[in-house]
Every structure is written in C-alpha cells, then in structure tokens.
Amino acid sequence: MRGEVCRRGLARLSLKLCKEMAERMATMAMFLNIDETRVVPALREAGEKLDGTEGEAVLDCSSVHRIDSSALRALEALACIADEKNVKIVLRGVNVDVYKVLKLVKLTRRFSFVN
C-alpha cells in the first residue's frame, strides 16, 4: 500500500514537472552577441528576431566600449519594439561608460542590466 502511494505521488510530481518544463520551453529567450563594429545592424537584427521571442531577449554588450547617436536611436527603436511585443530586453556586460551615456539619455529604465 505504501509503495503504491509513493508511485502515485511520483507520477503527480513528474506530471507537474513536465508541465513546468513545457511552460518554460514556450518562453525561450533570445541571446545575441553585439559586436562593437556592427552595433546598429546587430540591434536591427535583434528587433527583427523579437517576432518569435517570448519572455526576454539577452544582448551581450561586453565587446561594446563606445556608443554613438545612431546606436542610441537603434536601442530606442529596439525598446519600442520590445514594449509592443511584451519582451524584456536584458543588456549583459555593459561597459560603465556606455551605461552612463544610456543613463544621460534616459534609456536605462527601458532595459535590465546584468554583468
């Protein structure tokens, strides 16, 4: 009797875990490296890829040490697209100087940042 109860409990637990995994898989994140020499094209590409993305998009900015006005406009456009599609944009490895520029133009509140 006790073994049967344990098997039923495990079966329920397994079913619950399978459902949770299916939900997580449905919200797959997009991951994209941003190269300093092609910031604007990479951000445009990220905006195009948001169509199939649910949940969040992670952009690795660790190789970006400077940001110009065209990249700022591209970031703002990406933030607008992400807002429309209800996708969270995470900027990973942002240089301190780049972060300061984003802060000055009030773009930091539209993104999440991780090291």
CA angle 103, 59, 93 (to 5 degrees): 60
Share of the chain above pLDDT 70, in %: 75
Domains and CATH numbers, the chain: 26-114 (3.30.750.24)
The pLDDT tens digits of the residues spanning 2-42 come to 555 445 544 454 555 445 544 444 445 688 889 889 999 99
Contact 113, 91 (CB under 8 A): yes
Question: What's the pTM value of the predicted model, to 2 decimals?
Answer: 0.73
Strand order in the sheet with 56-60: 30-33, 56-60, 88-92, 112-114
In which band, very low, low, confident or very high, does the pLDDT at 54 lie, cut at 50, 70 and 90? confident
Average pLDDT over residues 56-69: 94
